[in-house]
Amino acid sequence: MPAVDWRGDDQVSWVIEFNGHRIIHCGDTTWHGRWWRIAREYGPFDWAFLPINGAIATGRGSEPSGLPTTLTPKQACAATRILRASKLCPIHYRTFNNPPIYVEQPNFRDALAQAAREEKVDVRLLNPGDAVAWGDDDLQSKAA
């Protein structure tokens, strides 16, 4: 599936279906207008794995925009709703913060909780090392 990184380069997202379950993993994507097409053609999803760190990045040879280079918590929750995903599993947070080149959104937990309430999204915030396992009846998060 399509995705767009902060430099405007084409990227890919992955839709995976197994045993009647479907997930989408979007990697380092920014907000784009293809969420509705993806939902129409491949939704609904059991899980959406979306970045939430809303990082501000400055790249070599690029004029800084000061805008997020990945989805913010609000954008990730809106995308989850549009994709008709049952659960959001946030990715790409607390792992890449490298000021001043790459600065994650501060207080992402509060922003995520507020956005989830507003968008009515079920968020499963996992810790590093946790796994999401395919279950017989449903996907369930389990500690690895």
Provide the whole-model pTM.
Answer: 0.88
Kindly list the domain boundaries of the chain, sorted by start residue. 2-126
Low-confidence ranges of the chain (pLDDT < 70): 60, 134-144
- Looking at residue 143, what is its pLDDT? 44
Q: Return d(Cα 66, Cα 96) in angstroms, integer.
A: 17
pLDDT score at 136: 44
CATH dotted code for 2-126: 3.60.15.10
